Structure 1
Amino acid sequence: MKIGFFVTLSIVAFSSCKEENKKSASLGPIEPQAIKSHIAVLADDSLQGRKPFTIGETKTVNYISTEFKKLGIEPSNGDSYIQKVPMVEVTSTPSENMEITGTKGNLTFKAVKDFVAFTRREQDTIQLKNSPLVFAGYGIVAPEFKWNDYKNLDVKGKTVVVLISDPGFKANDKTVFRGDTMTYYGRWTYKFEEAARQGAAGIIIIHQTEPASYGWQVITSSNTGSRLYLQAADKHKSRCKLEGWMTEEAATKLLTSNGITGDIRAYSRKKDFKAVALNQSVTVGLSNKYKYSTSQNIIGKITGSKRPDETIIYTAHWDHLGIGKAINGDSVYNGAVDNASGVASMLAIAKAFKDSKEKPERSIIFLAVTAEEQGLLGSEYYSLNPIYPLNKTVANLNMDALGFYGETKDISIKGKGQNEVEDYILDILNKNNLDAVGDTRPSAGSYYRSDHFNFAKLGVPAIDIVNGITSKEHGAEWGKQQKQDYNEKQYHQPSDNYSAQMNADGITQIANILFNVGLKLSNESTFPNWKQGSEFKEARDKSMGK
């Protein structure tokens, strides 16, 4: 492990400041040192990057469970803190080359350098042999936006090549989807799902750094080696044989050879766009190893004094990427920010509730979920197998990758305008002279990228907040630069480490806000709902019998 936390960032970001600590404390009872003490353990090399199915999982689960017990947090799954999550680990090794052949010429792409490929299917080998290639634009079927890239297209047995994000990105027109605010249709998870529904044999997403919101190094660190999936009765045979990504450079060569040049995003967002058969085929194989096991969600509770069957659920994912490719001599992906910061905050909030003189009338649930980095799997499993009925779940408050650069004057509400939990946050911000802003990177689709999304899909009002960019101490430009440096150089890299000089004031700021939101919700009898126009309102109304 390289000593130092975000070594490329300014040391000022990590300086301890008693005055700032007092400001954090004024929002609530949680103090930075309490959070730092947990991060120091969770992001230590001894936990080996907290990857599920490893000794790192065992140590992480033991730590969180032990902390719950120390605090007097009750087990939530009968007499256990554990909800077992059945998963399969698939390790796919692609052939060294991806061969493109056809009347438009031949191309050879190299694994990792030009493409990554993997499968969900639980079989020893996968082979795409001369699978016809089709460029399907954004790969989206969205009736509400009157959009269908697969219209009159038969892709059975074929491999589709699609763009990341959705047509609204850089369209300079807010009427195209939601403009620069990504919809779920822009997420890679959706692209894979839709291609499978269409019967494609394979799908390759074209990586572009700006619309993806991360570089190719994130694709390789996240998609090489083993991947985890929830177990499925059909062994995932309903999914495409092969899923993968290719670099923009490789895609440009492929598309150019078929006469598609220039701005392919603009080309694909034209209303008269039609998918293009590329007159070329792809040959690539995968050899797979797989094993079945269970990972673990960790869940504890404080039983409500008057309405114990009604719950507020705090979530934070405990997992990260484990041990991977060494960068600058460091191969342990510790995830200090992503997401030791969230778990540490949840533990601090649990202590704040236990120490509070005001006891909650509703039950408070603390849920540390597994395998978020593999596709939000732990929260998906819980939402489909809830220990507490979702129509009695008042709200989900999620914490993921919190601010590492001190307190901010603004708080970013992901999915701003979606549900009424936001109103509770706004009340706290107004009382503390803090500004509310939307997602600081709306094109990244952050609302669909963490565990609250699985609750939202099933109707539970769910929210995720993080620090904005306007540093109280250094201003907006400085804060923006810190976030940019993290996204470009630290996100899903071994350099996401802990150091004793870490400034946890911003993390504490978020933890205190969410503690107060949960405390207020716990002592009310009403249920917040989704706001008019939210795509999640219908599911909530149905579950509540409206």
Structure 2
Amino acid sequence: MITRAFGLGAVLAGALALAGCDGMMPGGDTAAELDIPEVEAGDLSVETMKDITRTLSSDEFDGRMPGTEGEAKTVAVLTERFAAAGLQPGNGDSWVQEVPLVEITSKNQAPLTITNGETDLVYDFGSEWVGVTYREDARTQLANSEMVFVGYGINAPERGWNDYEGVDVKGKTVVILVNDPDYETEGLEGTFNGRAMTFYGRWTYKYEEAARQGAAAALIVHDTEPASYGWNVVESSWTGPQAYPQRGDNAPPMTMVNGWVQKDVAREILAAAGQDLDTLTAAAKTEKFEAVELGMTASTSFENDMRSFTSQNVIGILPGSERPDEYVLHTAHWDHLGRCTAAPDGDDICNGAVDNATGTAALVALAEAHAKAGAPKRSLVFLAVTAEESGLLGAYYYASNPVFPLDQTVGGINMDAFLIAGPAKDVTVVGPGKSQLDAFLEAALVADGRVATPNPNPEAGYYYRSDHFAFAKQGVPMLYLDGGEDLIEGGREAGQAVSADYRENRYHGPKDEFDESWDWSGVMADLQLFYRIGRMMAESTSWPSWNEGDEFRATRDESCASADTGC
């Protein structure tokens, strides 16, 4: 290993390009002062990647649903492979952290019935609407709940925006648009960051805010472009067992029903109320928007089977040689959807080969490579989290109950779905310009002769859709990368075609399966970047921060200010 300081000329130029107007990225150090050691390439095993991906995505694991035999088999594989890689148990003498969850499986779903007292509109569950409850009730019954269109369902006083202003939605059903108001903007400037989705655009936020407002139900209007996935994804994800954190005595409020409706369904409902979806959507994009009482009521019901269970995060650690109480985090989720909506051939196992058996395999492959290279100065933590598909639950649980203090966690990298597309000239950065980790990424890119491309679909809000977000909310700088789309063979057109094919035909469906003919060269090149970035952070003396003005900066500053050790 080479430990001399990395020349930051080209590195800093690239990092500042990613950071945009943030410039010097202040924190413990300015970007020019960051200690970014040069490191040698890691000895990464493609056979490990193949073997673990093949194993975890086999039918034997039944889709790796938390709380099933598939989980037990997955945890057994990971603990065995972490140990064989040279890691130590990450939670004292244990390889796991227990995560208490409750699983709710709805059945006997009634149609969604919308009425104005004279005309009934009836919509079938699954094909036209989906809905679940977060409450632990044996039966859910929404009866004649008045409906209100609340635009994008956002209450953001710091941005001068409140879609709920002047309207009382207590006990009512709110109809909400997906994404946030300026997602159609060409650039990244605007009240809600232009085309780049903010957390206000995520369905998780919209349901949480509806509950805070006292709504009985929240129905999001599905639209493929701003949602960034088709109805098939909604249907497969929302019609089977749903896992949630077990609620304590002082749990936040919950709506009775959270769900989605097809866009054409929403259009028909609004037309019956004398309104036009396109007109209301245009109005909702302005800060002068006022919620609209629809003069319609919504009714539905379903029964719920419940079980409480404990799922598991799997944790391994390679202790640091000099500063073992400073930690660099690697995360990936091991879970998937279990059984889901069947494909035409009857296959109903969502195997989750790409999403995320590949990322889980990457944890093991990285652990092997770092152990072979010898322990770096800081400790490396490898965290395979549960219940990502249910809402980042395992990551949120760890971030709220950290085994290793977050103010002693330097930063981290998250791996979620290595798309099999062949080698690329670039790597896609999800959420560029957010933190000083961009400089570490740029150093790794320079070493490997590649370039960074900002996320081509910022409106999809991918930075808020994987496990790193749970840590970012707690102030820990996290880097999230996707594979590049500028393929060596075929360029961007070929890369975009691969991404579109996966998203439309395999993502969250039964055909996300392992293929022996896959070309792993692009995956291994991306994995080499993760190795270098993790190794650089672990050998560095710097504590990278969020950029000035970033939404997570204040949380990190507060955490560091109160820490006796670490950042």
Instruction: Confirm or deny a common fold (TM above 0.5).
Output: yes
1:254 is aligned to 269
The AA in structure 2 aligned to 1:399 is: M
Structure 2 partner of 1:142: 156
Query: Which residue in 1 is equivalent to 2:233?
Result: 218
* Residue correspondence of structure 1 range 528-539 to structure 2 within 5 A: 528-539=544-555
How many Å separate the matches in 1 of 2:475 and 2:314?
Answer: 22
Equivalent residue, structure 2, for 1:379: 395
Which residue is equivalent to 1:282?
Answer: 298
Structure 2 Cα separation of the partners of residues 454 and 183 of structure 1: 15
- Asked whether the 8 Å contact 1:309–1:362 carries over to 2, the reply is yes
The separation in 1 between residues aligned to 2:302 and 2:150, in whole angstroms, is: 23
Q: Shift of the alpha carbon at 1:262?
A: 5.2
Give, as a single letter, the amino acid of the residue that structure 2 aligns with 1:406. G
CA contact (8 A) 1:121 1:235 kept: no
Name the counterpart of 2:494.
478
Q: What amino acid sits opposite 2:93 in the alignment? A: D
Aligned position for 2:222: 207
Matched residue, 1:182: 197
TM-fit CA distance, 1:474? 2.0
Q: Secondary structure at the match of 1:225?
A: coil
The corresponding residue for 1:354 is: 371
8 Å CA contact retained: 2:85, 2:368: yes
In the TM superposition, what is the alpha-carbon distance from 1:439 to its structure 2 partner? 1.4
Structure 1 segment 6-17 matched on structure 2, within 5 A: none
- 8 Å contact 1:184–1:190 — kept in the other structure? yes
1:237 and 1:466 mapped to 2: Cα distance?
34
Q: Distance in 2 between matches of 1:95 and 1:77?
A: 42
What pairs with 1:267-346 in structure 2 (closer than 5 Å)?
267-327=283-343, 328-346=345-363
Give the alignment of 1:73-92 within 5 angstroms. Answer: 73-92=87-106
Q: How many residues align?
A: 520
Check conservation: 2:43, 2:372, Cα contact below 8 A. no
2: CA distance, partners of 1:331 / 1:275? 41
Deviates more, 1:311-320 or 1:271-280: 271-280
Percent of aligned positions that are identical: 42
What is the identity, as a one-letter code, of the residue corresponding to 1:55? E
Distance in 1 between residues matched to 2:449 and 2:323, nearest whole Å? 33
The Cα of 1:186 is off from its aligned counterpart by 0.4
Q: Partner residue of 2:166? A: 152
**Higher alpha-carbon deviation: 164-173 or 407-416:** 164-173
Measured in 2, the distance between the counterparts of 1:176 and 1:528 equals 27
Q: Provide the residue aligned with 2:136 in structure 1.
A: 122
**CA offset digits 1:39-95 (Å, max 9, x no partner):** 111111111111111110010000000001112210011111010000000112253
Moved over 6 A (4+): none
1:330 is paired with a residue whose SS is: coil
Contact 2:240/2:339 (CA < 8 Å) preserved in 1? no
Alignment deviations for residues 180-203 of structure 1 (CA, whole Å, 9 cap, x no partner) = 110000000000000011111110
Could you tell me whether the CA contact under 8 Å between 1:311 and 1:392 is conserved in 2? yes
CA distance in 2, matches of 1:416, 1:125: 45
Residue 259 of structure 2 aligns to a residue whose secondary structure is strand
How big is the shift at 1:172?
4.6
Structure 2: distance between partners of 1:392 and 1:284: 49
Find out whether 1:230 has 2:256 as its counterpart.
no
- After superposition, the C-alpha distances for 1:126-158 in whole angstroms (9 at most, x for unaligned) are 111111000000000112321110001111111
Matched, 1:131 2:145: yes
Counterpart CA distance in 1 for 2:283 and 2:461 is 22
Equivalences for residues 91-102 of structure 1 within 5 A: 91-93=105-107, 95-102=109-116
Whether the 8 Å contact between 1:94 and 1:117 is mirrored in structure 2 is no
Q: State the partner residue of 1:541.
A: 557
CA gap 1:71/1:262 in 2 versus in 1, 3 angstroms: closer
The one-letter code matched in structure 1 to 2:125 is A
Aligned partners of 1:96 and 1:230: how far apart in 2? Answer: 26
8 Å CA contact 2:471–2:478 kept in 1: the answer is yes
Letter paired with 1:83: Q
Equivalent positions of 1:16-95 (< 5 A) are 28-93=42-107, 95=109
Where 2:324 maps in the other structure, the secondary structure is strand
- The answer to whether the 8 Å contact 1:28/1:513 transfers is no
Q: How does 1:502-513 map to 2 (within 5 A)?
A: 502-513=518-529
Where in structure 2 are there 5+ consecutive unaligned residues?
A: 1-39, 563-567
CA distance in 2, matches of 1:53, 1:177: 38
- Cα pair distance change 1:497/1:353, threshold 3 Å: same
**Offset from partner CA, 1:181-227 (integer Å, 9 cap, x none):** 10000000000000011111110111001110111110010001210
Distance apart, 1:325 and its partner CA: 2.4
Q: Deviations over 1:151-170 (max 9, x none)?
A: 01111111101011000111
